[in-house]
Amino acid sequence: MQNVGGKIEAHVWRIATVVVLGTIMSVLDTTIVNVALDTLGRDLNSSVDQIQWVVTGYLLALAAVIPVSGWASRRFSSRSVYMLSLVLFTAGSVLCGLAQSTESLVAFRVIQGIGGGMLVPTGQMILVRAAGPRNLPKVMSAIGVPIVLAPIFGPTIGGLLLEHVSWQSIFLVNLPVGILTLVAALKLLPKDEPEGAEPLDFLGLGILSVGLVGITYGLAETGSAGTLFAGSVLVPLIIGLVGVAAFVLRALKVPNPLLNVRLYADRAFTAASITTFCLGAALFGAMVLMPLYFQTVRGQDAVATGLLLIPQGLGAAVAMGLSGRATERWGGGVTAAIGTVITLVATIPFVLLGAATPFLLIAAAMIVRGFGIGMSIMPAMTAAYGVLTPDQVTHATPQLTTLQRVGGSMGTAILTVILQTHLESAGASQAAMADAFGTTFIWVMGITAAALLPTLMLARIERRARRHGTIPAPESPLVEAETRELALESA
């Protein structure tokens, strides 16, 4: 029985503890691997454009299962799905630690991503029911502290494990945490009965998965092919585009599509979706670049690299606390546009990276860039939710989440291919290698700039809606928590 008063019952805090443990595991694993890419590439004899699939495969798996998590919770019960997700994530982590090749590591990361993709939304569903709408904001504020700290200190933890143990340990460390969380879930999570759900569109899921993987793989192959018009690039790219088009046509016809594509008839939602996709591409892709710069150009070890990445997370964490108030005052579209401009301007120093750029200057730029990230993602999503009905928000949340993951996977693939191409021509010169990173960040600026126009469109639509009094109440705390977790992962 949930408490509807001001005091939150003890069992709600126990459930929140389980949800926090699962969320931290998922968030940490999105950031902790970035500092290990250089080590993984050397130990597994893989180039940058090959080893990036360790990140890309994980993000694609997350994107694939997020739309399924709500259906699975209704069909099999949230508690059952949460525990299955824990088992998959933990088992995938152990398998990653035992991997002997890049191919096997990528395959096991996909398994890990399937579990991680369902952990966060399912856990939050359980917490919503337990806390009730009146107590949920208070619970979310309390559990938000460790979730904010996870991506900030994740790279440092990864660096310590790499330096003093091995790269396998960054995956195997999830085994004891996963077992602890599973035992806690068995004892503390309330039993719930399946609610029943409409048939899952398995065919649509398969078509969409093939489409997304085809596009991402085709883009990644441009590095080894050297041109966009090679067969190894065009074939998967065309298959991917046809797959996505087929999915959209099918979603417009079937009664219960995997994703409600009719939402894109709303200009605000379309603008927010483009913004989310572009920012996901720019942000997740850049997350891979900086650890590689610190290690390959500046010769820093994994621990130092992790510490050098902290400023961006701190900037994003500060922005988290301000973005809500800024959105209330100026609107989500204007706030997102300001955040995107800050991110764009703060990327300029990275374009000018040299072999001896002062770390203090880099840290300052990372703080500002992290602040821009935190001020752009959540407000853009808030603006989209503000013009949708409550029923549409239920469908919109997984779509925006999926778009950010897909944007991140494609951005990572494209940017690492560009980096690898320039590194190959740079040779052993540190100055030339630094220039390769600077050139790649020009592309990051281009992708970020592509997000600016839709944020301005959002601001215009939102201003009109406010003028006519058609903006409904703000989104639920659950939606806010999901967008907060997405923004932090991107930082």
Whether residue 227 has pLDDT greater than 80: no
Q: Is a pLDDT exceeding 60 seen at residue 2?
A: no
pLDDT class of 197 with cuts at 50, 70, 90? low
| Among 148, 178, 198, residue at a domain's last position | 198
Return all residues near 251 (Cβ < 8 A) that are at least 6 apart: 204, 257, 258, 259, 260, 261
pTM: 0.74
304 and 248 inside one domain: no
Of 380, 409, 326, 371, the residue nearest 491 (C-alpha): 371
Q: Given 198, 216, 241, which residue is the final one in a domain?
A: 198
**The CATH number of the domain where 159 resides is what?**
1.20.1250.20
Percent of the chain with pLDDT over 70: 83
> pLDDT class for 359, splitting at 50, 70, 90?
very high
Amino acid 386: pLDDT: 66
pLDDT of residue 257: 80
The one-character DSSP state at 253 is T
Q: Give the number of C-alpha atoms closer than 13 A to the C-alpha of residue 208, restricted to the C-beta side.
A: 26
Per 3-state DSSP, what percentage of the chain is helix, strand, and coil (rounded to 5)?
Answer: 85, 0, 15
Percent of the chain with pLDDT over 90: 10
Same domain, 315 and 444: yes
Tally the domains of the chain: 3
My answer on whether 300 and 386 are in the same domain is: yes
Residues 245 and 275 in one domain: no
Helix (H, G, I), strand (E, B) or coil at 227: coil
- Say yes or no: 334 and 447 in one domain: yes
Give the amino acid at 73. S
Say whether both 75 and 136 belong to one domain: yes
Which of 13-27, 113-127, 168-182 is predicted most confidently?
168-182
Looking at the fold, whether 312 and 223 belong to one and the same domain comes out as: no
Q: Decide if pLDDT at 142 tops 70.
A: no
99: tokens are: 């991997």
Q: Which residues contact 276 (CB under 8 A, 6 or more apart)?
A: 377, 380, 381, 400, 403, 404, 407
pLDDT at 473 over 50: no
Per the prediction, the chain carries an average pLDDT of 79
* pLDDT given for residue 81 in this prediction: 87
Are both 416 and 353 inside the same structural domain?
Answer: yes
Mind listing the pLDDT tens digit for each residue in 262-277?
888 877 778 878 888 8
pLDDT tens-digit map of 74-112? 778 888 888 899 999 999 999 999 998 989 999 999 999
pLDDT band at 177 (very low <50, low <70, confident <90, very high): confident
The tally of CA atoms less than 13 A away on the side-chain side of residue 299 is 6
Q: Of 49-63, 237-251, 325-339, which one has max mean pLDDT?
A: 237-251
Q: In whole angstroms, give the CA distance from residue 256 to residue 238.
A: 27
Q: 252 with 288, same domain?
A: no
Query: Do 411 and 453 belong together in one domain?
Result: yes
Q: Are residues 252 and 344 in the same domain?
A: no
> Where among 177, 198, 219 does a domain terminate?
198
Residues spanned by the domain of 364: 262-491
The 10s digit of each residue's pLDDT in 365-403 is 999 998 888 888 777 777 766 666 666 666 676 777 778
pLDDT at 93: 92
What pLDDT, on the 0 to 100 scale, is given for residue 154?
Answer: 75
217 shares its domain with 353: no
